[in-house]
Amino acid sequence: MSGAQRHIDAFLEMLSVERGAAANTIEAYRRDLDQFQQHLDAHSLALTAVKPDDVSAWLAALSEAGLSPSSRARALSAARQLYKFLLAEGHISADPTHGHTGPRKGRSLPKTLSVAEVDKLLRTAAERTECADGIERFRALRLHCLVEMLYATGMRVSELISLPRSVLSGDARVLTIKGKGGRERLVPLNPSARAALDRYLALISGEGRVSTKWLFPSRSVEGHLTRQRLGQDLKQLAADAGLDETRVSPHVLRHAFASHLLDRGADLRSVQQLLGHADISTTEIYTHVLEERLKKLVNDHHPLAKKQSGSGGSER
């Protein structure tokens, strides 16, 4: 193993052990850093001998290769974190990424669904449970439960599919889940989601499927339902509901949860806690919902707005 690889492995181990980074986060860092090391090898550069000009040349190469601004920004962030670690450990005397700024990513608005579209999706999922038998009934009840819980809680898909059965102990109206970085948070279940969960639990208990520790068991390597399978099932459900399946995914339902709460008066801090965002800046992507609500509030209730509307919009 090369010295560079040992440094990268040590950095990733630190992220996992000391910072509690999730497996997906570790894997993303590894991909970016492996590609960075490949660039250094191609130019006969040692990881610990990189200079600021070398970082500039690498970023230019990424741009010429056609990487998107978000991918380049992510790669630079991975290299920056690695060099901060190497500096702290005494392997380098200066950080070569210092002073480099990533490309502006441009924050796109999250894709979401209207309340009517979500209602249609939930209604179709419920109807499927009434006309299915055998294994198809099990799958229909499971999917109905999953969709209800996604929209009721705003959980990440990875959090939902890996829920242990032990999460059901305690208050039936609230789940305690473990999110990114091992942080725990409470998520409430509305009556509709709880009813769908109870129907699903009654079925799997009657069929003797309770020996596993997972709430949504499967024959996958992980032992629980995979995000790929849930994504496929959700696409088919969207098609059955007459919705554009390309617009529907577990993450879109998470966005719908947040957007619909804010649209109905929830504050940003509360939504941050429910989503499990460590930083409020992550939740601020939904501020467009607040802005639209404020515009509507002014247009509906401000006396001048009403007067202008009644006079055909003439200026005062």
Catalytic residues: 156, 180, 251, 254, 277, 286
CB 182 within 8 A of CB 190: no
| Cα 66 to Cα 61, 63, 128, 129, 191, distances in angstroms | 9, 5, 45, 47, 48
Burial (CB < 10 A; 0-12, 13-18, 19+), residue 314, is exposed
- Angle, helices 250-263 vs 134-153, to 10°: value is 40
Pairing between strand 174-178 and 184-188? antiparallel
CA dist., res. 242 & res. 248, Å (int): 11
Residues 161 and 60: their CA atoms lie apart, in Å, by 40
For residue 110, with 0-12 CB atoms within 10 Å meaning exposed, 13-18 middle and 19 or more buried, which class applies?
middle
The residue type of 255 is H
